[in-house]
Amino acid sequence: MQKLLAFSLLALSVFGNNTAFAQNIQPKDLAPTGGQSASQPAKAVVGTIKVVTGLVNLQTSEGKNKFASAGTKLNVGDVINTQAKSTTVLEFVDTTQVALRPNTRFVVENYEYQPEQPIADKAEFKLVKGGLRTLTGLIGKRGSADAFSMKSETATIGIRGTDFTARICKGNECTRLAKGESDKATATNTSTADVAGRISQLTGELFAVSVEGKRRALQKGSAVFAGETIDVSEGGFAVVSMADSTRLTLPGGSSMQVAAYRYAPASPQTSVASFKLLKGAVRAVTGAIAKAEPNNVKFFTETATVGIRGTAIDISCTSVSGGLVVCSGGANLTVELRDGQIIVTSGNLNSVINAGQSAVIPAGNVNIQVINSLANVLGNVPNAGPLPETTPANFETLSSTPVQSLTQGSGSSDEGSQLFVAVNDGTIVITNSNQAPLEVNRGEGAFVQTLSNLPPQLLTAPPDVIVQDITLSAPPFSAPQCAP
């Protein structure tokens, strides 16, 4: 059972601009909110700086300043400052890893990891300014759910996962940075790497069901992951834009599983995509994976397999009367090919179908009937949805939320600041002041206007200032190691 880790991120209203490292540290940044555990030695090593680029400064709880480098030990009370064009990666003894972007201040307020006493675990961190990405370790997963925390006056993030990103911006800082950083962004950011597709169009209700049976509502822009089943309500339809530009239209009452999906833009020939139609119909136009390696794209039903050769198709399961039904041996299966070529396999039988032809497998039969025309099964189905080849391949556009659209009208000023969050894996819960908690799942983001009582705002896609951040989108985390 996943445990709850409580996180809170601090956004200060005024940041110093002094050149001396010591002047960058505020006294309140150094005072642990919860105090140090009496059982922990004053100078116990709690972690190590693993990677340093540029200029990184560390100030100890005694006020001593030093330059940090790879191998520098971390103790409770340490304040880590990354300067302009500088980054660092910290690794704590429970295997938690934290990547800090340039111009970030991060405080190790309290930390205690006891391998034999999980209930005594404690990690209290503070993000004062800048941004970080955290890959959590064992603290908070094996003992107390509240063992891992970052506290502030304005926002608390409770973690039910392992990988999240947070960034604090003062005034319009993030708006300006997003514009400047967009030129450096890549399509392979790890912030969105495991998102298979996003909802491009939607009418009616739409749900995704995980392999564990967890059901969540989807809206336009929502992420879809490999293994999930997409259910469309009767009377609606949905268009899914996949990462490789494949587009899928699901008519009302349809259900389809993204059985397997892995797309690497740099090597699409090693990527795979397979979809299992469980009920109703799917209309598809394939993308980069099918172009690079057609054998790696397949559509399945209970009775047949459709191998793709770069194409636009409709696959439907219907009753004798023509209505969409569950794709079982008792349904008529029809495959209509508008473009390209496919191979339909039923039992031990294979048929090559070319553009303008249809393949029909009658209910209770394995024989494949080839028709030299398009059967137009969905022409008589209400809410069949658009042909996918007429819809935009807009996965990348849907994969980030413009920061400028969030800050417009928010009342932000030079004195105010904002907190932006992206969830790369797992689930977080954000609370702000006395507002109701907001749940944010992987592939989603959130925005909090600090120094206000406004509730956190859910974003179907992470903020662009996080997605486009080179440090936070692809940090040099090491492979997870077993904690002592």
**With contact defined as beta carbons under 8 Å apart, do 224 and 255 qualify?**
no
- Establish whether domains 5-187+400-473 and 197-393 are of one fold: yes
Residue 89 main-chain phi, psi, to 5 deg: -125, 125
DSSP, collapsed to helix, strand or coil, labels residue 185 as coil
Domain ranges of the chain: 5-187+400-473, 197-393
CA distance 290 to 360: 23
438 strand-pairing partners: 430
> Would the pTM count as exceeding 0.85?
no
Which positions ≥6 away from 158 have C-beta within 8 Å?
A: 4, 5, 6, 7, 428, 429, 430, 431, 437
Q: Compute how many other C-beta atoms are within 10 angstroms of the C-beta atom of residue 186.
A: 12
The one-digit pLDDT tens for each residue of the chain (484 residues) are 333 334 343 333 323 333 333 334 444 444 444 444 444 445 789 999 999 999 999 999 999 999 999 999 999 999 999 999 999 999 999 999 999 999 999 999 999 998 889 989 998 899 989 999 999 889 878 877 778 877 665 677 777 668 899 998 887 777 766 555 544 444 344 445 589 999 999 999 999 999 999 999 999 999 999 999 999 999 999 999 999 999 999 999 999 999 999 999 888 899 999 999 999 999 999 999 999 999 999 999 999 999 998 799 999 999 988 899 999 999 999 999 999 999 999 999 999 999 999 999 999 999 999 999 999 999 988 889 999 999 999 999 999 999 888 876 555 445 678 889 999 988 888 888 778 888 988 999 999 887 677 889 999 999 998 988 888 888 888 876 666 7
5-187+400-473 domain in CATH 3.40.50.10470? no
197-393 fold: Jelly Rolls (2.60.120)
Exposure of 374 by Cβ count < 10 A (0-12 exposed, 13-18 middle, 19+ buried)?
middle
